[in-house]
Amino acid sequence: MVFTSLEFLTLFLPLVLLIYVLSPTQWRNGVLLIGSWVFFGWLSPMFMLLHTVLTVITWVGGLLIDRAPLGSKSRVRWLTAMIVLNVLVLCWYKYSNILAATLSELLISQGAMPLEWQKVALPAGLSFIVLQAISYLVDVYRQTVKVERSFVDYATYLLMFGQSIAGPIIRYSWVSEELSHRGLSWGNFSLGARRFMIGMSMKVLVADSLSPVVDAAFALPEPSFVDAWVGCLAYSLQLFFDFAGYSAMAIGIGLMLGFHFPENFNRPYLASSIQDFWRRWHLSLSSWIRDYLYIPFGGNRGSKWMIYRNLLLTMAIAGLWHGGDSWNFLLWGTAHGVALCVARIWAGAGWFRIPTALSHVLTLLFVALAWTLFRAPDFATAMTMYAGQFGLNAFALGDALAATLRPTHAIAALLGVFCVVAPIYQQRFENRYGHHALFVVLGSAWPVLGFLLSFALIASRETVPFLYFQF
C-alpha cells in the first residue's frame, strides 16, 4: 500500500483521518501509532515487527543514555551501542545482497562455485527510520532534546506513516511540542489537503508518465546521443517529481494531522552551483549529513586536506545510504563529494568567477550526468549510457525509443519543465495578478483538477511505487 494506491486513497487514509478527528486529544497519538502499524503490516507483517522491535530498543536506549551521568563512559557506551545496532540492522537489510553478489562474482572469477544466497528484502522505510532514531539518540546524548518517556509518543514520532517511508527525515526536536500539544484546524486541514493533492499530481502526472521512457532508454544496448539524453533528462524530471511529490504528500498528511513538517525541496534545478544544489535538494538529508556526519568528522576544522577528506567521506556515505543494489550509489556520492571539493578549491584559489548563467548550466549538466550513474542498475549500464551521452554511438533518435514515446510523455515533460522554470517568475506574476479573481479561482481549482485526473489514472492502471519506496 503506497500513497498513490486505491486502497490508501479510498480506505486507509479516510478511515484513519475520521477516527483521528473523532478521538479525544489524548488518544490521538495512539490512533496514529496503530494506524502506522496497520500501514506497515499491510506492506508486510515482518516489516511491522522489525520496526516495532527497533522502536522499543531505541526508546529504551534513549532512556539509558539519559540516565547515565554526564561525561561518563557508560553514557558514551550506550550511545555507541545504539548507533552500532542501528547501523548493523540497516547494513544487513540494505547491503548483504550486494556483498553476497560481489563475493559470488569473485568466486566465479577464481573458478569456484558461486555463493548460495537467498535475497534479503529491504523493509520499507528502514533507511529513514534508522536516521531518525540515530538523530534522536545523539540529541538526547547532547542534551539538545529531553528524552521521551512515553513509548507511545516516541513510537508515533519514529513510525508515523505519513513520512517514515521516504521522508522528510524528521528530527525529534522539530515535533516534540506537537507530539504532546497540537490542535486541529480547518485552515491547516485545507492547506494539508491541497499539498497532498499537489504532491499526488507531481507523482502521477509527471513522474509516472515519464517512467516508461526512462525504462526504455536505460534498457537500450547501444543508445544514441538523443536516446541517452532523452532518457537522462526524463529521469532527472521523474526522480524530482516522484521524490518531491512524496514529500509534498507527506507534509500535507502531517498538516491534516496537526504536524508541521519542514520543506524537503527548494527548487533544486535552479541551483547555480553544486553547493547550492545540496542546499536545495533533499533538505532534511542534507542537514542530517551536515549535523551528524560532516561536523562530527571535523567539518571545516583542520587543514584543507582534512576538509576535503571530510567532504568525500561524508558524501560517499550519503551515496551508499541511498541504495544497496549496486555500487553505483557509492560512486554517485563520491562524484558529488569530488564536485564539492573542486568547487571549494576553485573558490579558495581566487580563480576567475564563472558567470551565473554558465554556472547554472554546468551545475545541471553535472547533476544530470550523475543521475545516470544513480539510475543505472549496474556500472556496465551506466557506461553504456555515458557512451551515448558523449556521442560514441549514433546521433539520431533510435527506433526502439521512438516506438515508446507518446504525446503524453511530451506533455508530462513540458509540464515538468514548466513547474521547474515557473518559480523564476512566480513572485513577479503574483505581485501583478495575485488579487485578480481569475487567479484566485485557478489557484484553488487546479490542485483539485490535478488530483481528480491523477485518481482517474490510478484507477485505470497498476500502482507505480515511489522510487524511494525501498531505498
Query: Is 66 exposed, middle or buried (CB count within 10 Å of its CB: 0-12, 13-18, 19+)?
Result: middle
∠467-402-397 over CA atoms, to 5°?
100
**How many CA within 13 A on the CB side of residue 468?**
27
- The letter for the amino acid at 191 is L
Q: Which of 51, 181, 260, 322 is catalytic?
A: 322
C-alpha cell at 441: 479561482
Cα separation, 45 vs 175, in Å, equals: 27
Q: How far is CA 288 from CA 282, 296, 310, 331, in A?
A: 10, 11, 15, 20
Answer yes or no: 322 catalytic: yes
Contact in structure between 160 and 36 (CB atoms under 8 Å)? yes
Could you give the C-alpha distances from 7 to 11, 131, 207, in angstroms and in order? 5, 28, 21
- C-alpha separations of 74 from 77, 78, 87, 146 in Å: 5, 6, 20, 18
Neighbours of 10 (CB within 10 A): 13
Which positions are annotated as active-site residues?
322
